[in-house]
A = this chain, B = another copy of it.
Amino acid sequence: MKLLAVGTVAFDAIETPFGKTDKILGGAATYIGLSAAVLKTDVSLVSVVGGDFPQEYLDLLTSKNIGIDGVEIVKDGKTFFWSGKYHNDLNTRDTLVTELNVLENFDPKVPADSADAEVLLLGNLHPAVQLSVLEKMNSRPKMVILDTMNFWMDLTWDLLMEMITKTDVICINDEEARQLSGEYSLVKAAQKIHTLGPKFVIIKKGEHGALLFHEGKIFAIPALPLEEVFDPTGAGDTFAGGFAAHLAKTGDFSFDNMKSAIIVGSAMASFTVEKFGTERLVEVTGEDLKERINEFKKLTSFEVSL
């Protein structure tokens, strides 16, 4: 099946306890595309950049067979720019700069040959943009995956609710699940979010792994413990990209295959944090991914005989 993903393609400037970068390639759609490319999934992006966006970055995406016909280039505009500084624990960060630029008036274009994609990943963006992409599809995709964050809960609650109603899989972190549901227990939070629309609820817990809820069933996976988390930027997007790409590639939306997709997403995210930005992700091969999945298997497998 075909995967269509909407999200930012951007410049990031990142500071971690290990160093800092100038403006480098970033953005949710970038991580999603690169993650899907490792799985050799048929993936296309919907996004917008300015005339200042280097051709070499676009070439990088096409060299990975990522469709960029839906990435509009606003010649006289500037590309979205985000800058952030991580604290020593790498779990929290301060946003230093957010320049929306061309994102401010982003009217997403869905190319004709992407409008029938069966799997649609709506990356973290204004819910009005997410809704607009969904409306531009030829028919409702088989699987609509929504990534969002507390920011939109605070600012655009009603639009976000409308978007969530039309969502199959929602992907949020634990604090966002609590904010969205008003429940502290993540089990109760997921139950409440199911009633809003999503049949599948994924709760990302960063270094503590992820949870998947569906029809009273739960799947839990720890994160791969790493000696060094170098830069967490893009980990969530890489996760969502790997998850959606596995679903699109297999065309299997069973709970068991959703579990596999969570593992694929977690494995992909574990690469991203090893270097700055997309540096590690662009060099990951299918073989690397298989090895990493085996590490997850080893990490979590057990037998108990009482």
Q: Nearest-CB distance from A76 to chain B (Å)?
A: 44
Partner of A208, one of B187, B208, B256, B260: B208
Residues of B within 8 A of A259 (CB): 302
Partner of A209, one of B39, B218, B222, B298: B222
Cα of A226 to Cα of B211 in the assembled complex, Å: 12
Q: Nearest-CB distance from A226 to chain B (Å)?
A: 6
Residues of B within 8 A of A289 (CB): 306
Tell whether A222 pairs with B225 under 8 Å between CB atoms, given A289-B306, A303-B256, A305-B260: no
Residue of B nearest to A222 (CB): B220
Q: Nearest-CB distance from A241 to chain B (Å)?
A: 15
Q: How large is the interface on A (under 10, 10 to 19, 20 to 34, 35 or more residues)?
A: 35 or more
Tell whether A225 pairs with B187 under 8 Å between CB atoms, given A218-B299, A286-B306, A290-B306: yes
Partner of A226, one of B187, B222, B300: B187
Over the window 213-231 of chain A, the binary record of Cβ atoms lying under 8 Å from chain B Cβ atoms (1 yes, 0 no) is: 0000111111101111100
Residues of B within 8 A of A227 (CB): 185, 187-188
Q: Does A136 contact B (CB under 8 A)?
A: no
Residues of B within 8 A of A229 (CB): 185
Docked-complex contact A220 and B286, CB < 8 angstroms: no
Residues of B within 8 A of A218 (CB): 225, 299
Residues of B within 8 A of A305 (CB): 260
Residue of B nearest to A228 (CB): B185
Cα of A299 to Cα of B217 in the assembled complex, Å: 8
Cα of A262 to Cα of B12 in the assembled complex, Å: 42
Q: Does A205 contact B (CB under 8 A)?
A: yes
Q: Does A22 contact B (CB under 8 A)?
A: no
Cα of A181 to Cα of B262 in the assembled complex, Å: 32
Over the window 178-216 of chain A, the binary record of Cβ atoms lying under 8 Å from chain B Cβ atoms (1 yes, 0 no) is: 000000111110000000000000000100110100000
Residues of B within 8 A of A208 (CB): 205, 208-209, 222
Docked-complex contact B302 and A219, CB < 8 angstroms: yes
Over the window 283-306 of chain A, the binary record of Cβ atoms lying under 8 Å from chain B Cβ atoms (1 yes, 0 no) is: 000100110010001111011111
Which residue numbers of A lie inside 8 Å of B, CB to CB? 39, 88-90, 184-188, 205, 208-209, 211, 217-223, 225-229, 256, 259-260, 262-264, 286, 289-290, 293, 297-300, 302-306
5 smallest CB-CB distances across A and B, nearest first, come from: A220-B222, A208-B208, A260-B304, A259-B302, A187-B227
